[in-house]
Amino acid sequence: MLKKLFQSIRSPLRRKRAVRSTPEVLGGSQHSLRREQISRNAVGVVERLQKAGYQAYLVGGCVRDLLLGHQPKDFDVATSATPEQVRAEFRNARVIGRRFKLVHVHFGREIIEVATFRAHHPQGEDDEDSHLASRNESGRILRDNVYGNQEDDAQRRDFTINALYYDPASEHILDYAHGVHDIRNRLVRLIGDPEQRYLEDPVRMLRAVRFAAKLDFDIEKHSAAPIRRLARLLNDIPAARLFDEILKLLLTGQGERTFDLLCEYDLLAPLFPASAAALKADPEYAGRLMRNALANTDERIRQGKPVTPAFLFAALLWPALPARAAALQASGMPALPALQEAAHEVISEQCRRTAIPKRFTLPLREIWDMQERLPRRNGKRADLLLENPRFRAGYDFLLLRESAGEQTDDLGEWWTRYQDVSDSERRSMIRALSEGEGRDKAAPRKRRRSPRKRRSDAPAGHPQD
């Protein structure tokens, strides 16, 4: 009894939020969204559920994007039907997930995701059924399968701009949280108390940054205020989930803008601890290399070219290598093994923070190894490197390093020319390298035989022994 009394007088953050029971309804003449813009499969799912007696709407990002004039990447449906009831209506449906149970309705390559209206978790621990809903000690939601009505569902969504429901039958938009107002004012605003919502799911901080970058919106000041202080909560998020979030953050065409926001809100360190430390130690070089890599990735996405997480992770983690390798060399390890051991340490530490699959860590290592092999071009080595399947990625990475200010003795320019010239010209380039090395090796022997002549013959500015 005393426990229930204490629960009733807890901080307002634990009290039930006020629910707006009557949404603002925008008719077809009050918005730009049209039924023809929507996937016919998504419309079909909504209509079939409605015909079966359930409430059903297009919801979230697809409604938001269409209002902004963007083409949605997918279409989601929210309904009063439970996952099992949805599954019973569609033979091509499959129930997925445990933490957040959903239904995927398959139409060839297109998948329509259907979610049941959710409600807020019970506030008293005695009222919480661990099979349906559970939290950890900090308040983070571990399981979220408490069903409710549409009003509950709108209030428990994360951002106002994602709490919009569209009925293709009437062409009405139902707005429970002033989401249309925030779209017009280009604001990312959390629904409810920001700190409590971040405690429930710290990944919402990353989602706020992602939407701000993707839509070119600002994060509303009250929603932004707790982020720096709560950024550490991301350390408790499973590494596999953080990897998926990083792909959404940095590989959707707004990576450079996203990176700046991650730095602004102190969210880079929980995602890339070694990179954040390198950025703090050498902001000019590390910052230029990371931003150049992200800008190049954004441009490739705009041009419809393929991108790989391996190259981007290689660029983001590279600035952390030199200090690690130097420390190992100082302990007596030779240069090449020191670099390889440093690479192993950096990648292993990053995988503990964000679970990078082996299909990306292996090419990442090969891109880094190529940086040691590209300077060695004598004999047949240059041609063998040119045939290596990782040559192009290694060469592009070399140019990226040079664009950030690394001095490589014009190695990138040499390889650029070598790819373009004829076979006879390539042989001449290789001979020139050998002759240059021969002169370098001959010079010390000549200086040892005649020290006085060495001083008089030495070119201006050449260091003397």
Residues acting as catalytic residues: 74, 76, 158
Tokens of 461: 């500015």
Could you tell me which of 97, 76, 79, 100 has the C-alpha nearest to residue 88? 79
d(CA 261, CA 127): 39
Q: What distance lies between CA 397 and its chain's CA centroid?
A: 20
Q: How far apart are CA 62 and CA 72, in angstroms?
A: 5
Residue 147: DSSP 8-state: B
Could you tell me if 415 and 374 are in contact, meaning their C-beta atoms sit under 8 angstroms apart? yes
Q: What angle do CA 332, 335, 336 make, to 5 degrees?
A: 125
Token pair 């204490």: residue: 6
Separation of alpha carbons 87 and 141, rounded Å: 25
**Neighbouring C-beta atoms of residue 16, cutoff 10 Å:** 9
What is the full DSSP assignment across 347-382?
Answer: HHHHHHHS---HHHHHHHHHHHHHHHHTT--TTTHH
- Angle between helical axes of 309-317 and 391-403 (0-180°, round to 10): 40
**Identity of residue 437:** E
